[in-house]
């Protein structure tokens, strides 16, 4: 099992210079993976980024940032197409960087919530499945896997549960479209974190291990023994990544509602979380 950390723990956006400074720190801490968010499509030189990861003995994963103009099920066709083009950009970027997993709520803009009648949900699910089939075919040609993430009810009203993600993934039916689960969101939405993980089963190829308050894993009330047992039950051996954010970056703090620090430092959040997860998931 490989352990990673998202660059959002420290920085936003992830530029070429920021990546060059962050990669050796992450490696020294003992992480195997650096997860790279793609906010602006011109923030990072992907060829240089690939070399930075290689030089520091790290592998990468990629995190999609679904903003208001990136939405695969929006009523406005221009917004839908912009969302499709953005994900294609991420797939191309991942290919350049030697990255496989592209993770996130690859369906709708984060923060867009609405009361959805049953017939509208059927329509939007059909639209999403069609668009994900298209994107999955593109990803397959580039060696990438889209990992669809359920979010909590305050960040989306569309896919909140593992069961809803399973419905979508089974309909898309592509090896290049799978599931990512995140314990921060699961802690809000799922009746049982372990049962949700077992339901996703082999469909889950990426995992965010995050505390209920976005602090260091192991410092809050997530039911970690249940999580660990469920991961063993499904024989999970994919990336386990810590995702959190810093209140010092005002744009990401507002988007993620990060108004205070959760640990003495962002370094402590990452290091303490890694130590806990390695001990928790030791075989």
- 280 half-sphere exposure, CB direction, 13 A CA radius: 22
**243 has catalytic annotation:** yes
Identified catalytic residue from 149, 190, 211, 263? 149
**149 has catalytic annotation:** yes
- 222 half-sphere exposure, CB direction, 13 A CA radius: 28
The alpha-helical segments, DSSP class H, found in 117-213 are: 118-142, 162-172, 183-189, 193-200
Length of the chain: 283
Tokens 């995140």 belong to 182
Q: Is the peptide bond before 177 cis (omega within 30 degrees of 0)?
A: no
What is the maximum span of the chain, computed from C-alpha positions, in angstroms?
52
Q: Cβ distance 68 to 112 under 8 Å?
A: yes
Four-residue CA torsion sign, 154, 38, 217, 238? positive
For residue 178, list its beta bridge partners: 147
- Between helix 266-280 and helix 16-29 the angle, nearest 10°, is 50
Identified catalytic residue from 155, 211, 243, 263? 243
Segment holding 30, helix H or strand E: none
The candidate with the shortest Cα–Cα distance to 179, out of 212, 136, 218, 221, is 136
**Cα(107)–Cα(158) distance, rounded to whole angstroms?**
8
**Two tokens, residue 102:** 């592209």
Q: Which positions are catalytic?
A: 149, 243
């Amino acid at each position: 099992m490989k352990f990673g950390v998202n660059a959002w723990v420290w920085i936003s956006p992830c530029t070429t210079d920021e990546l060059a400074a962050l990669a050796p720190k992450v490696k020294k801490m003992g992480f195997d993976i650096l997860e790279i968010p793609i906010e602006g499509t011109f923030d990072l030189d992907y060829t240089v980024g690939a070399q930075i990861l290689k030089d520091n003995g790290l592998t990468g994963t990629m995190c999609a940032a679904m903003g208001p103009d990136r939405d695969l099920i929006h009523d406005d066709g221009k917004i839908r197409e912009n969302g499709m083009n953005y994900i294609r950009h991420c797939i191309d970027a991942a290919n350049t960087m030697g990255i496989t997993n592209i993770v996130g709520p690859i369906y709708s803009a984060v923060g867009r919530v609405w009361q959805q009648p049953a017939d509208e949900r059927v329509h939007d699910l059909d639209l999403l499945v069609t668009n994900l089939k298209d994107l999955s075919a593109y990803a397959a040609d580039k060696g990438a896997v889209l990992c669809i993430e359920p979010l909590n009810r305050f960040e989306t009203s569309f896919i909140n549960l593992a069961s809803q993600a399973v419905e979508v993934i089974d309909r898309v039916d592509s090896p290049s479209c799978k599931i990512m689960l995140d314990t921060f969101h699961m802690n809000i939405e799922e009746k049982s974190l372990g049962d949700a993980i077992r339901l996703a089963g082999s469909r889950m190829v990426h995992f965010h291990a995050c505390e209920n308050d976005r602090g260091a894993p192991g410092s809050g009330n997530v039911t970690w023994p249940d999580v660990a047992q469920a991961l063993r039950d499904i024989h999970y051996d994919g990336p386990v990544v810590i995702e959190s954010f810093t209140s010092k970056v005002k744009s990401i703090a507002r988007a993620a509602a990060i108004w205070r620090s959760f640990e003495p430092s962002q370094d402590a959040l990452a290091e303490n979380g890694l130590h806990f997860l390695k001990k928790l998931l030791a075989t």
